Amino acid sequence: MTDLNTLHAIASLVPQGSRVLDLGCGDGAMLDYLQRERGCSGYGVELDDANVLACVKRGVNVLQLNLDQGLTVFEDASFDVVLQIDTLQHLRNAETMLRETARVGRVGIVAFPNFAHWPNRLSILQGRMPVTKRLPYQWYDTPNIRVGTHADLAVLAQRNGLRVLDSFGLQDGHTVRMWPNLRAGTSVYKLAR
Amino acid sequence: MLIATPQTMCFDAPLLLQSGASIHGYSLSYETYGTLNADKSNAVLVCHALNASHHVAGVYEGQDKSEGWWDNMIGPGKSVDTNKFFVIGVNNLGSCFGSTGPMHTHPDTGKVYGADFPVVTVEDWVNAQARLLDALGIQTLAAVLGGSLGGMQALSWTLQYPERMRHAVVVASAPNLTAENIAFNEVARRAIVTDPDFHGGHFYEHGVIPKRGLRIARMIGHITYLSDDVMNEKFGRELKDAVLASANGYKYSTQDVEFQIESYLRYQGDKFAEYFDANTYLLITRALDYFDPAKAYGGDLSQALARTRAKFLLVSFTTDWRFSPKRSREVVKALLDNKREVSYAEIDAPHGHDAFLLDDARYMSVMRSYFDSIPKGLEVTA
């Protein structure tokens, strides 16, 4: 999810000057943008060597840690905002990580591919797992080990006692507020304890 | 090829040591590479570990094979680029590679220090390094860089002289030694001290060297610097040629060298005993044992690191069990608790603790990128 419109749409949810933790920060583009354009500070967490290197190159603080081993290095409410952009679907302990996100950050922002987006539904109706621009993998090689929908996350958030401050879909860089579970390839939630 | 020229700086004024003792009339050996810029803002101090010196990079004139111990990291166009930075390597007090140490003469008594050389700590070394910088006219360092025990010095710099440095690069290090680590040091020290040639540390006047002790100290040290996997890959259960030729598969001797690993360790031990000083080994391992900045804060490292101002890069190696990634993560956590700027790379390398001295593309690139990102200018972050 590297397109600029999407990056800007999510960045606009982060208040000016926030202290940000970006879990699964990739090449650090989001943090770099938040630092330059919104006066934010903070750290990215990343496992992949090439991404860690890209962050160091950009001058973004990055910590090479495995999210599946938890967030024990971070204290409660030590960040204004914790971002989890296209990360949740790769984690074995997705539920724990959602709780941890809300523990460490005063606000958690989670974005992930919405499996209930209509092209995916269509594909399933035809009896095949979807392969789209948003979900470009075959069923046998996908790194997305947690497949969920926009509606599913609302249930999981409630189950864990998290308040949904805002939620919407993103499609082609545009915000989708009407029927996001059907019309958006990406689901976005703003959560708090 | 970078040509290195060792230099010496003499200090008459006494340096008060952490133990309460002091040392005066001492000298420090150092080397510099690159050029100090006009506002003196591009200096990088490199701190060494147990078996290293001020000879960090380059070679000595006419000696092709005399590369510095971190020559793969530091030099023109290398990760720490001496075309951009003015790099300083300094040999620590108590060492046996040039700076005043146990084999030198006490200026008052005219006798060789031997076991009477004062016990020095990481903090003492840092104070001595700061004095050298004073003498060189350098107020603020762009970075302090070190691996292992050298990393401890870099960390200590951020606590002792937070206003004199902008970046700390701490590689394969730890905020203190674990019990197991102290235990390894103690085995090495006992090997030396119980060598009949040690003479309570005054072996120089007996014209002998406790080589047996030094050999064993090096052997055990060497084992802990490697990983099980690397040792197996390199040696496995391979036997020496002479053993292979024997009719029964082994020599069935308890004292012959039969396995390649035995041969390798003995070779490393012999080599080390030729050049390393026994009292230095005791002093340096003791400095390792004592280092513990959290001690004054009831073991709370976060409180201890509150005074740091530098921006940090920490690097650890997955198979390093002597200074494991877990120990680096403790430092990361303490820095996070203090909202300090820090990046941390955990390099998946097979070579154990030794990895910090070896070429690894990911390691070298991270170091290069970090040093490339160090801006010019003197500002110390608030």
Each residue's pLDDT tens digit, B186-218: 999 999 999 999 999 999 999 999 999 999 999
Best probe of the B interface among A21, A25, A65, A73, by most B CBs < 10 A, is A73
Average pLDDT over chain A, rounded to whole? 94
Q: What is the pLDDT at residue A2?
A: 54
- CA distance, residue A71 to nearest chain B CA (Å): 10
Q: Which residues of B touch A75 (CB under 8 A)?
A: 336-337
The verdict on B332 touching A (C-beta cutoff 8 Å) is yes
Q: Nearest CA to CA, how far is B180 from chain A (Å)?
A: 24
How many angstroms away from the CA of B209 is the closest CA of chain A? 46
Does B339 contact A52 at a Cβ distance shorter than 8 Å? no
- Contact A43/B337, CB-based, under 8 Å? no
pLDDT of residue B376: 57
Q: Which residues of A touch B327 (CB under 8 A)?
A: none
Burial B87-100 (b: 16+ CB within 10 A, else e): bbbbbbbbbbbbbb
CA distance B275 to A77: 54
Which residues in chain B are closer than 8 Å to A53, comparing Cβ atoms? 362, 365-366, 369
Q: Which residues of chain B have pLDDT under 50?
A: 377-382
Residues of B noted as catalytic = 148, 320, 353
Distance CA A187, CA A189 (A): 7
Q: How far apart are CA A23 and CA A43, in angstroms?
A: 9
**Per-residue confidence band for A173, with pLDDT thresholds at 50, 70 and 90:** confident
User: B332, A73: Cβ pair inside 8 Å?
Assistant: yes
CB-side neighbour CA atoms (13 Å) of B166: 20
Q: Report the predicted TM-score, pTM, of the whole model to 2 decimal places.
A: 0.95
| Residue B57 CB neighbour total at 10 angstroms | 26
At residue B243, the pLDDT reads: 86
Which residue is closest to B349 within chain A, CA to CA?
A49
pLDDT digits (tens, 9 = 90+) for A176-186: 999 999 999 99
Q: With contact defined as beta carbons under 8 Å apart, do B287 and B125 qualify?
A: yes
